[in-house]
Amino acid sequence: MKLSIEGVGKSYRGKAWALKAFSLELGPGVLGLLGPNGAGKTTLMSILATITRATEGRVVWNGADVAKDPDRLRAVLGYLPQDFGVYPNLNAVEFLEYLAAVKGLDAATARRRIDELLNLVNLSDVRKRPLGGFSGGMKQRVGIAQALLNDPELLIVDEPTAGLDPEERVRFRNLLSELSGERIVILSTHIVSDVEATATDIALISDGRLVAHAAPEELLRSVEGRVWEWVVASADLQRVKEAFRVSSTARRSDGVRVRVLTEDPPKGAQPAVPTLEDAYLDALALHRAGVTA
């Protein structure tokens, strides 16, 4: 099972490039696609989900060019778009039955699968209620269920935790981790903690370009020994922000605890254990400074 993204680029109406020369090779596991808003994540997801055509480059699924045979990929694809709608007069079962038919599942298999999925996303009790009355989080779970209808080999989820409460978010991350065993899962998000919990591989994207592709441990190593913390007076915070690359701040009774990324630690600073957020911010800052990580 292999998905290759080979020099893919996308420009809209021949103007700005939302994605440029993006290459990546993926096998089973969870790829966390991390990047700021507007980085090109959704464009890449749409290309991989065969919704939109790449302007340049190609996507290859198990050796076959997706542009030449998109249905080969679609048959094994589960896709949860960032924005999607539902038919408000259908209930969850009817909606999933419809999409199961579109995806080519026979009626008996679809019924069994829908039962399992509704149990999984805990919507069995409201299975006969029209979707028009569902909350955002419940609709999102219907979206997750539809993405898993055909037991996909490639699961693409674009900002999947939007609309989920903190508990649901944790559970969904666990679900993704478990599902990833024999399939490729691409999780696109700008929430670092989502990726931290699930990804076996991380791709950082910014301004439509691949900034870094590495295992989480590797990214963490890249900032090892460069993360420092110390407490400063509130009045000094602005000066510190101007002098250092600040990763985070937290108010305390004795001032503000500041976390910075730097080669030369300021006086009184203590070394800190790097997090993925530190590595992410560092990579983005380096990229923006014109240096690819």
Partner 1 sequence: MNAIRVLGQMVKADFKERARRTSFLVTLAFTVFVGYETFAGGIVINLDKYRGVYNSAWVGALMAAVTSCFLSLVGFYIVKGSIERDEQTRVGRILAATPMTKAFYTVAKALGNFAVLSSMVAVMAVAAVLMQLLRGEDRVVHLWALLGPLVLIALPVMAFVAALAVLFETLPVLRGGVGNVVWFFAWMALLVAGAPPAAGNGPHYAARVEFADFTGLGTIFSSTRETMLKINPKFTDSFSFNIGGMRPTEKFVWNGIDWTAARIAGRLEWAVIALLAALLAAVFFHRFDPARAGLARRRKNPEAPAAGEQGVVQEVAGFGGAAAAWSGMLTPLARVGGRTRFGHLVVAELRLTLQGQKWWWYAGAAGLFIGCLSSPLVAGRGDVILAAWIWPLLLWSQMGSREARWGTGALLYSSPRTLGRQLPAAWVAGVLVTMATGGGLAIRLLLARDAAGLEGWAAGAVFIPSLALALGSWTGTGKWFEAIYTAWWYIGPLHHIRNADFMGTMAASNTPVLFVALAALLMASCWVRRRTQLGYA
Site for partner 1 in 60-79 (CB under 8 A): 66-67, 70-71, 74-77, 79
Does 285 engage in binding with partner 1 (CB under 8 A)? Answer: no
How far apart CA 195 and CA 215 sit, in angstroms, is 11
Q: Shortest gap between Cβ of 54 and partner 1 (angstroms)?
A: 8
The one-letter amino acid at 30 = V
Does 12 engage in binding with partner 1 (CB under 8 A)? Answer: no
CA-closest candidate to residue 280, choices 199, 198, 191, 200? 191
E strands present in the chain: 3-11, 17-26, 29-34, 56-61, 64-65, 77-80, 154-158, 184-189, 201-206, 209-214, 227-232, 245-252, 255-261, 270-271
Size of the site for partner 1 (CB under 8 A): 72
Chain positions 226 to 255 lying near partner 1, rule: CB under 8 A, are none
CA-closest candidate to residue 161, choices 175, 146, 180? 175
Does 106 engage in binding with partner 1 (CB under 8 A)? Answer: yes
Does 184 engage in binding with partner 1 (CB under 8 A)? Answer: no
Does 286 engage in binding with partner 1 (CB under 8 A)? Answer: no
Q: Shortest gap between Cβ of 92 and partner 1 (angstroms)?
A: 10
Q: Shortest gap between Cβ of 192 and partner 1 (angstroms)?
A: 22
Does 125 engage in binding with partner 1 (CB under 8 A)? Answer: yes
CB-wise, 65 or 207, nearer to partner 1? Answer: 65
CB-wise, 112 or 288, nearer to partner 1? Answer: 112
94-123 burial string, b = 16+ CB within 10 Å, else e? bbbbebbeebebeeeebeebbeebbeebeb
Q: Shortest gap between Cβ of 11 and partner 1 (angstroms)?
A: 15
CB-wise, 103 or 245, nearer to partner 1? Answer: 103
Chain positions 27 to 56 lying near partner 1, rule: CB under 8 A, are 46-47, 49-53
Does 258 engage in binding with partner 1 (CB under 8 A)? Answer: no
DSSP secondary structure string for all residues of 59-80: EEETTEETTT-HHHHHTTEEEE
21-43 burial string, b = 16+ CB within 10 Å, else e? ebebebeebbbbbbbeeebbbbb
Residue with tokens 């909606």: 95
Does 141 engage in binding with partner 1 (CB under 8 A)? Answer: yes
- Residue of the chain from 4, 109, 222, 249 that contacts partner 1 (CB under 8 A): 109
Could you tell me whether strands 184-189 and 29-34 are parallel, antiparallel, or unpaired per DSSP bridges? Answer: parallel
Does 1 engage in binding with partner 1 (CB under 8 A)? Answer: no
Chain positions 145 to 164 lying near partner 1, rule: CB under 8 A, are 146, 148, 150-151
- Residue of the chain from 6, 28, 60, 120 that contacts partner 1 (CB under 8 A): 120
- Residue of the chain from 7, 133, 225, 271 that contacts partner 1 (CB under 8 A): 133
Q: Which residues are CB-contacts of 179 (< 8 A; sequence separation ≥ 6)?
A: 148, 155, 185
- Residue of the chain from 16, 101, 215, 233 that contacts partner 1 (CB under 8 A): 101
Within 10 angstroms of residue 177's Cβ, the number of other Cβ atoms is 16
Residue with tokens 């935790």: 161
- Residue of the chain from 2, 112, 239, 241 that contacts partner 1 (CB under 8 A): 112
